[in-house]
Amino acid sequence: MMTAWHFLKHLNCTPTLQLLRSSSFSLNRYSSSLFFLSIHTTAPDQWPPRPQFKNSHANSSTPSLAVQSMASPVPAPANYVSVLLRCNKDISDMLAEALLSFGASSVTMNEDDVCPGTDEICVSSIFLEGEDINTSISHAADSIGLKEIPRYEVKILEENDWMKGAQELFHPVEVTEGLWVVPKWITPPDSQAMNIVLNPGLAFGTGDHPTTKLCLLLLHDCIKGGEHILDYGTGTGILAIAALKFGASFAVGVDIDSQAIASASQNATLNNIGPDKLQLHLIASQTLSSSRDDWPFSVVEGENASEMETVTHKDKYDVVVANILLNPLLNLADQIIFSAKPGAMIGLSGILSEQVENVLQKYSPFLEGIEVSKMDDWACVSGRKRMNIDIC
């Protein structure tokens, strides 16, 4: 006979968990049409930043449908549920797998939660909204042959709990002599150094990761002053901002993640960089199955076409840096090369050492003076765009 015994903590009513809305906009369904928005945050100290979207070309009389549907309000923070179960040590692994199959978002076994004097350990499991926890747990228990549903406690946790924890990890990093990346809430260890101040939020790029360091070093070496930079996959904007600090005159940062654009926008302000020096653009992600004929900016009609050209105008950039992932680097190769002037420096990272060959295979027809720099397991491939290549 199944006896279920559980008690609910921290709840004063029957839980109807808020609809979990993804805090980043999913742009994949718009991959066949490209649109650009410039993001301006008016409250730099608000966290998480709530970007207000504006159509950057207000003179178009019929804003595209995609822009209108992007103007929905940013969702409220989501809650999730943490369930603490006790079970026998022997079956904890099996139970973990079963819980994952029956709706748990993650399962954690804490080393310190071994209940003394018994063979039981505590297993905690996170469920997102919409899951019927009791059903999930009873199915999971059933599937591994447990006679009874394990006892469990439920706690409702907030998004901010884990977000804050994630942000606390950011500490000042000296990338190279005289160049620091410093969190906004910490005084720079060396006030005389070039300090890039960041509030990364949930975007990538704090100066800590080997790929960021490799790209920063590349930019540091190749920027002489006055260059135009394109930062593909800008994240926190760290590379674009660094490039400007090194002496570049203008930078454009693009990303498929609205969180990134929001973070980069805030960071530009933190470093006293205005829209005359740095422009940020949210772009639709290209789906992997698309072929050359599906270039985002070849499918766009009407007013949007000129927006595309502003950002990735042929031969516009002196330096193009892309710290993303292997597949996008391969799929976007034509666009990346296209956007660079002949002789421009191109830096490609976000790749593991074992992936360098793939990148070289794709890019070596277009680059000369290729160098590969490595740090830990990561690599950066760089080279200059060959002078006489036609890409149509």
Partner 1 sequence: MAAKEILTRRPVAATIKLTVPAGGARPAPPVGPALGQYRLNLMAFCKDFNARTQKYKPETPMAVSITAFKDNTFEFTVKSPSVTWYLKKAAGIESGSGRPGHVTASTLSLKHVYEIAKVKQNDHYLQNMSLEAITKSIIGTANSMGIQIVRNLD
Q: Does 8 bind partner 1 (CB under 8 A)?
A: no
Q: Does 202 bind partner 1 (CB under 8 A)?
A: yes
Q: Does 166 bind partner 1 (CB under 8 A)?
A: yes
Q: Does 165 bind partner 1 (CB under 8 A)?
A: yes
Residue type, 94: M
* Residues 6+ positions from 380 with CB-CB distance below 8 Å: 211, 214, 215, 218, 347, 348, 349, 351, 372, 373, 374
C-alpha–C-alpha distance, residues 179 and 69, integer Å: 41
Choosing from 190, 208, 294, 334, the residue that interacts with partner 1 (CB under 8 A) is 208
CB of 347 to partner 1, least distance (A): 16
- Give the tokens for residue 55: 């159509």
C-alpha–C-alpha distance, residues 15 and 81, integer Å: 10
Question: Which region among 110-118, 139-147, 268-276, 296-304 touches partner 1 (by CB under 8 A)?
Answer: 110-118
C-alpha–C-alpha distance, residues 55 and 37, integer Å: 5
Q: Does 52 bind partner 1 (CB under 8 A)?
A: no
| Residue nearer to partner 1 on the CB measure, 248 or 321 | 321
Tokens 């793939």 belong to 358
Backbone angles phi, psi at 8, to 5 degrees: -105, 130
Strands 228-232 and 317-323: parallel
Considering only residues 290 through 329, tell me which ones interact with partner 1, judged by CB under 8 A: 325-327
Residue 122 pairs in a beta bridge with 86
C-alpha–C-alpha distance, residues 235 and 249, integer Å: 20
Question: Which region among 108-116, 294-302, 360-368, 383-391 touches partner 1 (by CB under 8 A)?
Answer: 108-116
| Residue nearer to partner 1 on the CB measure, 287 or 306 | 287
C-alpha–C-alpha distance, residues 296 and 307, integer Å: 12
Q: Does 97 bind partner 1 (CB under 8 A)?
A: yes
Choosing from 94, 100, 217, 270, the residue that interacts with partner 1 (CB under 8 A) is 100
Choosing from 105, 306, 361, 364, the residue that interacts with partner 1 (CB under 8 A) is 105
Residues near partner 1, by CB under 8 A: 20, 22-24, 78, 80, 82, 96-97, 100, 105-112, 126, 128, 157, 159, 161-163, 165-166, 168-169, 200, 202-204, 206, 208-209, 211, 288, 325-327, 350-352, 355, 378
